[in-house]
Protein backbone atom coordinates (compact mmCIF):
# COMPACT_ATOMS: atom_id res chain seq x y z
CA UNK A 1 0.00 0.00 0.00
CA UNK A 2 2.74 2.45 0.94
CA UNK A 3 5.34 1.23 -1.59
CA UNK A 4 4.42 3.63 -4.39
CA UNK A 5 4.18 6.57 -1.99
CA UNK A 6 7.74 5.99 -0.76
CA UNK A 7 9.05 4.96 -4.21
CA UNK A 8 9.83 1.42 -3.14
CA UNK A 9 10.18 -1.49 -5.56
CA UNK A 10 9.75 -4.09 -2.85
CA UNK A 11 8.41 -4.34 0.68
CA UNK A 12 11.45 -3.57 2.88
CA UNK A 13 10.24 -4.92 6.22
CA UNK A 14 8.83 -8.35 5.46
CA UNK A 15 8.21 -10.68 8.38
CA UNK A 16 9.11 -13.74 6.31
CA UNK A 17 12.89 -14.38 6.48
CA UNK A 18 14.51 -13.36 3.20
CA UNK A 19 18.22 -13.92 2.63
CA UNK A 20 18.25 -11.01 0.18
CA UNK A 21 17.79 -8.68 3.14
CA UNK A 22 20.49 -10.27 5.31
CA UNK A 23 22.22 -7.49 7.26
CA UNK A 24 25.72 -8.19 8.49
CA UNK A 25 25.64 -6.64 11.95
CA UNK A 26 28.52 -7.37 14.34
CA UNK A 27 26.58 -10.18 15.99
CA UNK A 28 25.30 -11.72 12.76
CA UNK A 29 28.77 -11.55 11.22
CA UNK A 30 30.27 -13.35 14.24
CA UNK A 31 27.52 -15.97 14.26
CA UNK A 32 27.98 -16.59 10.53
CA UNK A 33 31.72 -17.00 11.06
CA UNK A 34 31.08 -19.62 13.74
CA UNK A 35 28.76 -21.51 11.41
CA UNK A 36 31.28 -21.36 8.57
CA UNK A 37 33.99 -22.55 10.96
CA UNK A 38 31.78 -25.50 11.85
CA UNK A 39 31.30 -26.35 8.17
CA UNK A 40 35.06 -26.17 7.62
CA UNK A 41 35.71 -28.52 10.57
CA UNK A 42 33.12 -30.94 9.17
CA UNK A 43 32.31 -32.54 12.50
CA UNK A 44 30.51 -32.11 15.80
CA UNK A 45 27.73 -29.74 16.76
CA UNK A 46 27.41 -25.99 16.23
CA UNK A 47 24.96 -24.17 18.52
CA UNK A 48 23.47 -20.73 17.83
CA UNK A 49 21.08 -19.19 20.35
CA UNK A 50 19.10 -15.97 20.28
CA UNK A 51 15.80 -14.50 21.35
CA UNK A 52 12.68 -14.73 19.20
CA UNK A 53 13.11 -12.56 16.11
CA UNK A 54 16.88 -12.17 16.44
CA UNK A 55 17.49 -13.39 12.88
CA UNK A 56 18.57 -17.02 13.35
CA UNK A 57 16.56 -18.34 10.40
CA UNK A 58 17.87 -15.67 8.02
CA UNK A 59 21.37 -16.42 9.29
CA UNK A 60 21.01 -20.07 8.26
CA UNK A 61 19.66 -19.03 4.85
CA UNK A 62 22.76 -16.87 4.40
CA UNK A 63 25.00 -19.80 5.37
CA UNK A 64 23.28 -22.14 2.92
CA UNK A 65 23.77 -19.64 0.10
CA UNK A 66 27.53 -20.15 0.50
CA UNK A 67 27.47 -23.95 0.48
CA UNK A 68 28.49 -25.95 -2.56
CA UNK A 69 25.20 -27.61 -3.46
CA UNK A 70 26.86 -30.66 -5.01
CA UNK A 71 28.85 -31.40 -1.85
CA UNK A 72 26.19 -30.99 0.85
CA UNK A 73 22.85 -32.63 1.52
CA UNK A 74 20.95 -30.40 3.90
CA UNK A 75 18.19 -31.59 6.21
CA UNK A 76 16.29 -28.74 7.86
CA UNK A 77 13.97 -29.55 10.73
CA UNK A 78 11.89 -26.69 12.08
CA UNK A 79 9.29 -28.77 13.89
CA UNK A 80 9.00 -28.75 17.66
CA UNK A 81 8.35 -31.33 20.36
CA UNK A 82 9.51 -34.30 18.28
CA UNK A 83 10.20 -37.44 20.25
CA UNK A 84 13.31 -39.48 19.33
CA UNK A 85 11.39 -41.86 17.04
CA UNK A 86 9.57 -38.96 15.34
CA UNK A 87 12.84 -37.09 14.90
CA UNK A 88 14.57 -40.04 13.27
CA UNK A 89 11.51 -40.54 11.06
CA UNK A 90 11.57 -36.89 10.05
CA UNK A 91 15.25 -37.10 9.11
CA UNK A 92 14.60 -40.21 7.04
CA UNK A 93 11.63 -38.55 5.34
CA UNK A 94 13.72 -35.46 4.58
CA UNK A 95 16.28 -37.72 2.90
CA UNK A 96 13.47 -39.42 0.95
CA UNK A 97 14.31 -42.78 2.49
CA UNK A 98 11.75 -45.53 2.66
CA UNK A 99 11.20 -46.63 6.25
CA UNK A 100 8.94 -48.34 8.74
CA UNK A 101 8.43 -46.25 11.85
CA UNK A 102 7.91 -49.40 13.92
CA UNK A 103 11.40 -50.75 13.17
CA UNK A 104 13.73 -48.12 14.62
CA UNK A 105 16.89 -50.25 14.42
CA UNK A 106 16.29 -50.86 10.72
CA UNK A 107 15.57 -47.17 10.21
CA UNK A 108 18.84 -46.14 11.86
CA UNK A 109 20.71 -48.62 9.69
CA UNK A 110 19.01 -47.20 6.60
CA UNK A 111 20.11 -43.68 7.54
CA UNK A 112 23.64 -44.85 8.31
CA UNK A 113 23.88 -46.64 4.98
CA UNK A 114 22.71 -43.51 3.17
CA UNK A 115 25.19 -41.29 5.04
CA UNK A 116 28.09 -43.63 4.26
CA UNK A 117 27.07 -43.89 0.59
CA UNK A 118 26.86 -40.10 0.35
CA UNK A 119 30.32 -39.76 1.89
CA UNK A 120 31.71 -42.11 -0.75
CA UNK A 121 30.41 -39.63 -3.34
CA UNK A 122 32.12 -36.77 -1.48
CA UNK A 123 28.82 -35.46 -0.14
CA UNK A 124 28.25 -34.52 3.48
CA UNK A 125 25.00 -34.56 5.43
CA UNK A 126 24.16 -31.37 7.30
CA UNK A 127 21.27 -31.55 9.77
CA UNK A 128 19.91 -28.18 10.91
CA UNK A 129 17.42 -28.18 13.77
CA UNK A 130 15.55 -24.93 14.41
CA UNK A 131 13.75 -24.23 17.71
CA UNK A 132 15.92 -26.97 19.21
CA UNK A 133 15.04 -25.88 22.75
CA UNK A 134 11.69 -27.61 22.26
CA UNK A 135 13.21 -31.02 21.59
CA UNK A 136 12.99 -33.51 24.47
CA UNK A 137 16.32 -34.47 26.03
CA UNK A 138 15.90 -37.97 24.55
CA UNK A 139 15.73 -36.50 21.05
CA UNK A 140 18.88 -34.45 21.59
CA UNK A 141 20.60 -37.61 22.75
CA UNK A 142 19.39 -39.36 19.58
CA UNK A 143 21.09 -36.66 17.53
CA UNK A 144 24.30 -37.30 19.43
CA UNK A 145 24.08 -40.98 18.59
CA UNK A 146 23.63 -40.10 14.91
CA UNK A 147 26.79 -38.00 15.07
CA UNK A 148 28.69 -41.23 15.82
CA UNK A 149 28.42 -42.30 12.18
CA UNK A 150 31.92 -42.27 10.72
CA UNK A 151 33.58 -43.03 7.41
CA UNK A 152 37.31 -43.77 7.34
CA UNK A 153 37.63 -42.56 10.91
CA UNK A 154 36.02 -39.18 10.21
CA UNK A 155 32.54 -37.90 11.08
CA UNK A 156 30.17 -38.32 8.15
CA UNK A 157 27.53 -35.79 9.17
CA UNK A 158 27.28 -32.53 11.04
CA UNK A 159 24.52 -31.09 13.18
CA UNK A 160 23.58 -27.47 13.86
CA UNK A 161 21.21 -26.55 16.66
CA UNK A 162 19.40 -23.21 16.66
CA UNK A 163 17.22 -22.14 19.52
CA UNK A 164 16.17 -19.62 22.08
CA UNK A 165 18.46 -18.88 25.06
CA UNK A 166 17.02 -21.70 27.16
CA UNK A 167 18.70 -24.15 24.77
CA UNK A 168 22.00 -23.39 26.49
CA UNK A 169 20.47 -24.26 29.86
CA UNK A 170 19.16 -27.55 28.49
CA UNK A 171 22.53 -28.48 26.99
CA UNK A 172 24.22 -27.78 30.33
CA UNK A 173 22.24 -30.52 32.04
CA UNK A 174 24.41 -33.35 33.32
CA UNK A 175 22.67 -36.02 31.25
CA UNK A 176 23.74 -34.22 28.06
CA UNK A 177 27.40 -33.79 28.93
CA UNK A 178 28.49 -36.11 26.10
CA UNK A 179 26.64 -33.98 23.56
CA UNK A 180 28.09 -30.81 25.03
CA UNK A 181 31.60 -32.22 24.63
CA UNK A 182 30.95 -32.47 20.90
CA UNK A 183 30.03 -28.80 20.49
CA UNK A 184 32.87 -27.28 18.48
CA UNK A 185 31.40 -23.77 18.28
CA UNK A 186 28.57 -21.86 19.93
CA UNK A 187 27.40 -18.27 19.84
CA UNK A 188 24.58 -16.22 21.34
CA UNK A 189 23.03 -13.76 18.91
CA UNK A 190 22.30 -10.54 20.83
CA UNK A 191 20.09 -7.64 19.66
CA UNK A 192 21.66 -4.99 17.47
CA UNK A 193 23.09 -1.74 18.80
CA UNK A 194 21.47 1.62 18.17
CA UNK A 195 23.82 2.40 15.24
CA UNK A 196 23.30 -1.06 13.77
CA UNK A 197 19.54 -0.56 14.02
CA UNK A 198 19.86 2.60 11.93
CA UNK A 199 22.09 0.79 9.45
CA UNK A 200 19.67 -2.14 9.29
CA UNK A 201 16.71 0.12 8.48
CA UNK A 202 18.62 2.04 5.79
CA UNK A 203 20.02 -1.15 4.28
CA UNK A 204 16.60 -2.71 3.83
CA UNK A 205 15.16 0.51 2.42
CA UNK A 206 17.98 0.78 -0.12
CA UNK A 207 17.52 -2.85 -1.20
CA UNK A 208 13.82 -2.13 -1.63
CA UNK A 209 14.65 0.70 -4.03
CA UNK A 210 14.65 3.74 -1.77
CA UNK A 211 17.16 6.42 -2.78
CA UNK A 212 19.69 7.89 -0.34
CA UNK A 213 17.35 10.68 0.75
CA UNK A 214 16.92 10.37 4.51
CA UNK A 215 13.49 9.12 5.47
CA UNK A 216 14.13 9.25 9.23
CA UNK A 217 15.65 11.89 11.46
CA UNK A 218 18.20 11.03 14.16
CA UNK A 219 15.46 11.37 16.78
CA UNK A 220 13.27 8.92 14.87
CA UNK A 221 16.06 6.32 14.78
CA UNK A 222 16.59 6.80 18.51
CA UNK A 223 12.90 6.27 19.20
CA UNK A 224 12.70 3.17 16.99
CA UNK A 225 15.68 1.63 18.75
CA UNK A 226 14.27 2.44 22.17
CA UNK A 227 10.98 0.78 21.31
CA UNK A 228 12.30 -2.33 19.49
CA UNK A 229 15.46 -2.93 21.49
CA UNK A 230 17.38 -3.69 18.30
CA UNK A 231 15.55 -6.98 17.64
CA UNK A 232 15.30 -7.44 13.84
CA UNK A 233 11.80 -8.90 13.75
CA UNK A 234 10.43 -6.20 16.05
CA UNK A 235 12.08 -3.58 13.86
CA UNK A 236 10.38 -5.10 10.81
CA UNK A 237 6.99 -5.20 12.50
CA UNK A 238 7.27 -1.68 13.77
CA UNK A 239 8.74 -0.04 10.64
CA UNK A 240 6.12 -1.69 8.46
CA UNK A 241 3.45 -0.17 10.70
CA UNK A 242 5.29 3.15 10.72
CA UNK A 243 5.43 3.37 6.92
CA UNK A 244 1.74 2.57 6.73
CA UNK A 245 1.09 5.39 9.22
CA UNK A 246 3.29 7.69 7.14
CA UNK A 247 1.40 6.84 3.98
CA UNK A 248 -1.95 7.56 5.60
CA UNK A 249 -0.69 10.83 7.11
CA UNK A 250 1.34 11.82 4.00
CA UNK A 251 4.61 11.99 5.95
CA UNK A 252 7.76 12.28 3.83
CA UNK A 253 10.30 12.44 6.66
CA UNK A 254 9.72 10.75 10.00
CA UNK A 255 10.58 12.59 13.19
CA UNK A 256 10.63 11.41 16.77
CA UNK A 257 7.05 12.47 17.48
CA UNK A 258 5.80 10.45 14.50
CA UNK A 259 7.44 7.33 15.89
CA UNK A 260 6.00 8.04 19.32
CA UNK A 261 2.53 8.39 17.82
CA UNK A 262 2.74 4.91 16.31
CA UNK A 263 4.15 3.55 19.57
CA UNK A 264 1.15 5.04 21.38
CA UNK A 265 -1.26 3.42 18.92
CA UNK A 266 0.32 0.00 19.35
CA UNK A 267 0.44 0.34 23.13
CA UNK A 268 -3.27 1.09 23.24
CA UNK A 269 -4.00 -1.93 21.08
CA UNK A 270 -1.81 -4.11 23.29
CA UNK A 271 -3.50 -2.87 26.43
CA UNK A 272 -6.92 -3.70 25.00
CA UNK A 273 -5.84 -7.20 23.93
CA UNK A 274 -4.10 -8.01 27.22
CA UNK A 275 -7.04 -6.80 29.29
CA UNK A 276 -9.34 -8.98 27.26
CA UNK A 277 -7.11 -12.02 27.81
CA UNK A 278 -6.72 -11.43 31.53
CA UNK A 279 -3.01 -10.55 31.25
CA UNK A 280 -1.78 -7.87 33.62
CA UNK A 281 -1.09 -4.62 31.79
CA UNK A 282 2.06 -3.48 33.61
CA UNK A 283 4.37 -0.78 32.22
CA UNK A 284 3.49 0.38 28.73
CA UNK A 285 6.74 -0.58 26.96
CA UNK A 286 6.89 -3.93 28.71
CA UNK A 287 3.37 -4.79 27.62
CA UNK A 288 4.13 -4.02 24.01
CA UNK A 289 7.29 -6.07 23.78
CA UNK A 290 5.82 -8.96 25.78
CA UNK A 291 2.74 -8.99 23.58
CA UNK A 292 4.88 -9.11 20.45
CA UNK A 293 7.07 -11.88 21.88
CA UNK A 294 4.07 -13.99 22.87
CA UNK A 295 2.45 -13.51 19.47
CA UNK A 296 5.61 -14.27 17.53
CA UNK A 297 6.28 -17.33 19.67
CA UNK A 298 2.81 -18.70 18.97
CA UNK A 299 3.18 -18.01 15.25
CA UNK A 300 6.58 -19.76 15.19
CA UNK A 301 5.23 -22.84 16.94
CA UNK A 302 2.16 -23.00 14.67
CA UNK A 303 4.24 -22.60 11.51
CA UNK A 304 6.70 -25.27 12.67
CA UNK A 305 3.90 -27.73 13.39
CA UNK A 306 2.22 -27.08 10.05
CA UNK A 307 5.53 -27.39 8.18
CA UNK A 308 6.20 -30.72 9.87
CA UNK A 309 2.79 -32.14 8.95
CA UNK A 310 2.94 -30.84 5.37
CA UNK A 311 6.50 -32.04 4.73
CA UNK A 312 5.87 -35.45 6.25
CA UNK A 313 2.73 -36.03 4.17
CA UNK A 314 4.47 -34.95 0.95
CA UNK A 315 7.49 -37.14 1.56
CA UNK A 316 5.44 -40.18 2.53
CA UNK A 317 3.37 -39.76 -0.64
CA UNK A 318 6.56 -39.54 -2.70
CA UNK A 319 7.94 -42.68 -1.06
CA UNK A 320 4.67 -44.52 -1.73
CA UNK A 321 4.63 -43.42 -5.38
CA UNK A 322 8.25 -44.52 -5.90
CA UNK A 323 7.39 -47.90 -4.34
CA UNK A 324 4.43 -48.37 -6.66
CA UNK A 325 6.32 -47.45 -9.82
Report the alpha-carbon distance of residue 156 to residue 120 in Å, rounded: 10
Same domain, 160 and 38: yes
> Domain count of the chain?
2
pTM for the structure as a whole = 0.79
* Residue 299 belongs to some domain of the structure: no
Per-residue model confidence (pLDDT) at position 285: 44
pLDDT tens digits, one per residue of 177-192? 899 999 999 999 999 9
Asked whether residue 281 carries a pLDDT value surpassing 50, the answer given is no
Same domain, 182 and 235: no
* Residue 302 belongs to some domain of the structure: no
Lowest-confidence region among 156-170, 227-241, 295-309: 295-309
Per-residue model confidence (pLDDT) at position 155: 82
Same domain, 160 and 265: no
Same domain, 89 and 163: yes
Report the alpha-carbon distance of residue 256 to residue 264 in Å, rounded: 12
Same domain, 63 and 165: yes
Interhelix angle 194-207/232-249, rounded to 10 degrees, is 60
Domain span at residue 138 reads 26-191
Same domain, 48 and 183: yes
Of residues 301 and 100, the one with the higher pLDDT is: 100
CATH number where 244 lies: 1.10.8.60
- C-alpha to C-alpha distances, 181 to 45, 171, 294, nearest whole angstrom: 9, 10, 33
Report the range out of 148-152, 239-243, 287-291 with the highest average pLDDT.
239-243
Per-residue model confidence (pLDDT) at position 317: 56
Average pLDDT of every residue of the chain: 84
Same domain, 100 and 139: yes
Same domain, 99 and 151: yes
Same domain, 68 and 181: yes
Asked whether residue 162 carries a pLDDT value surpassing 90, the answer given is yes
- Please check whether residue 53 is in contact with residue 192, taking contact to mean a CB–CB distance below 8 angstroms: no
Report the alpha-carbon distance of residue 135 to residue 64 in Å, rounded: 23
Same domain, 110 and 30: yes
pLDDT tens digits, one per residue of 215-231? 999 999 999 999 999 99
Same domain, 166 and 177: yes
pLDDT tens digits, one per residue of 58-80? 999 999 998 888 889 999 998 66
Same domain, 41 and 96: yes
Residue 73's H or E segment, with its range, is strand 72-77
Strand pairing report for 154-155 and 150-151: antiparallel
* Residue 19 belongs to some domain of the structure: no
Per-residue model confidence (pLDDT) at position 213: 76
Grade residue 274 by pLDDT with cuts at 50, 70 and 90.
very low
CATH number where 100 lies: 3.40.50.300
Amino acid sequence: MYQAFYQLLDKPFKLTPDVKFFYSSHGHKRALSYLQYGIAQAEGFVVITGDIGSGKTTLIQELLSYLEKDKHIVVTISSTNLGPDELIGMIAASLNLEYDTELKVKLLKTIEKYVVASASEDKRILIIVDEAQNLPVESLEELRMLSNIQVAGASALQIMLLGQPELSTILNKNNLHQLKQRIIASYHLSPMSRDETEGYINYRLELAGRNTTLLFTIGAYDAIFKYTGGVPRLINIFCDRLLLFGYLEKIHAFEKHHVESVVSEIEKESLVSTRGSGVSAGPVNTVSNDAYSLLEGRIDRLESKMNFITDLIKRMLNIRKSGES
